[in-house]
Amino acid sequence: MAAVCVLIVGLSAAPQADGQSTIPVRYSTRAIAMGGANLLSANPIEAGYFNPGALSLTGGFHLYVPMVQVSANRTLLDMVDYIDENENRFDNFDTLPLTQQIAFVNEINNEFNRQWVAVNVDPMVGLQMGSFALSAYSVTRANLRLVADLAPIPTDPPPDPEIQGYAINDIVLNAGLGLQFGPFLHGGVGVRYLNRRVTDDPNGYVVLSSDETEFSDLLGGVDGEDQTINGFAVDVGGALTLSKAFAVGGVIRGIVSSMEDEDWEPEISGGVMIRPLEVLMGIPKILIRDLTLEANISDLTNVRGEEYKDKLQIGAEVKIPLFSLRAGLNRGKLSYGAGLHLLIIDVAAAVATVPVITPTGIVDDEIFVVSVGLGW
């Protein structure tokens, strides 16, 4: 039984898997808080892989060294809270009367058995000089769950619990170049190269609690042979800025791609961005320094066959001195967050409900995201 408790505590350190395109675009904490609406208002450098057509809008010299982003799902945080609140019962489990042991284990079983717990890790480094950007980022998604009949039966011991895990680790290198054609039209091209390692198992997960399987086996085959995927994709994007207060544009992701074996077709997304305070020319901006409103529609040609209401992303950002406040709707689900930029220190947090791929199907999951980095 002590081993079961150790396994449960061990779950609190595990990562998550999230629905991504074949070569994933890294959603920053800012973009997550804004419901994913980021095609025309992406931060410098990030525009290079989100929509290279926006690089000539950001311009200048920018550097992230690095930006580290970590997120966890609600189940993991609930589990951590539960372990903290029941520390005495875990520490003194062997001294509890049998009836209390059974009640405690059944309580754990009801709360957490077969529930995926997750952490995502998405670091990024990047450099932008004028309308040219280079970046490298990693998108790591892995989940673990406890599968067990935890109730102790003195005369008939239950089978040993197992921990099932799966993971995807994508490392992406990106180069983007933006061009401006006249006073209003902006275009750009981006090239992304992918190296992917995935859980190599017919079930989509490996069992990590056996003596033969180590945590390192989560990525790659249990026999030590990694399953890797390599490929590239070319994106083109554009933006039309009728004024500083209004822009429309979009991106075609994977217009050229080596990922045919991954059943990937080019995906077109479009959006509109409004900055209403830009029309207040000459009027001092005291409390609210800037206001950005953006709406995007992903997969305009319906490659994935989803309803269009599930493709809509709406976001807003309000900048006040030092802080940015953000909120949005992604597929009708609320997201929100805030950011702080002080000199070269950038800190942000977000809460959102996103679709998550698990071996048992796609589910909506609430995630909590924080990022810390050095950037200017």
The predicted-structure confidence for 148-205, as pLDDT tens digits, reads as follows: 765 555 545 556 677 888 888 899 999 999 999 988 999 999 999 999 887 766 666 7
Question: Considering only 21-25, 126-130, 340-344, 372-376, which range has the smallest mean pLDDT?
Answer: 21-25
Any bridge partners for residue 178, and if so which?
Answer: 188
Strands (E), 199-332: 206-207, 228-243, 246-257, 267-274, 290-297, 312-319, 323-330
Highest mean pLDDT among 4-13, 132-141, 259-268, 299-308: 132-141
Highest mean pLDDT among 208-222, 327-341, 344-358: 327-341
- pLDDT surpassing 50 at residue 373: yes
Whole-number pLDDT of residue 40? 93
Higher pLDDT, 324 or 359: 324
For the beta carbon of residue 110, count every other beta carbon within 10 angstroms: 9
Question: Considering only 79-88, 154-163, 194-203, 279-288, which range has the smallest mean pLDDT?
Answer: 154-163
DSSP state of 214: -
- pLDDT surpassing 50 at residue 136: yes
Q: What is the C-alpha separation between 264 and 253, in angstroms, rounded?
A: 10
- pLDDT surpassing 70 at residue 31: yes
Whole-number pLDDT of residue 105? 79
Question: Considering only 141-145, 162-166, 278-282, which range has the smallest mean pLDDT?
Answer: 278-282
Q: Token pair 């673990």 is at which residue?
A: 144
- pLDDT surpassing 60 at residue 354: yes
DSSP state of 112: H
Q: Where are the domains of the chain?
A: 2-375
Q: What is the C-alpha separation between 148 and 363, in angstroms, rounded?
A: 22
- Determine if the pTM surpasses 0.75: yes
Whole-number pLDDT of residue 47? 92
CATH level 3 topology of 2-375:
Porin (2.40.160)
Higher pLDDT, 257 or 261: 257
Higher pLDDT, 38 or 216: 38
The radius of gyration of the chain's CA atoms, rounded to the nearest angstrom, is 23
Per-residue pLDDT tens for 38-57?
Answer: 999 998 899 999 999 999 88
Higher pLDDT, 375 or 337: 337
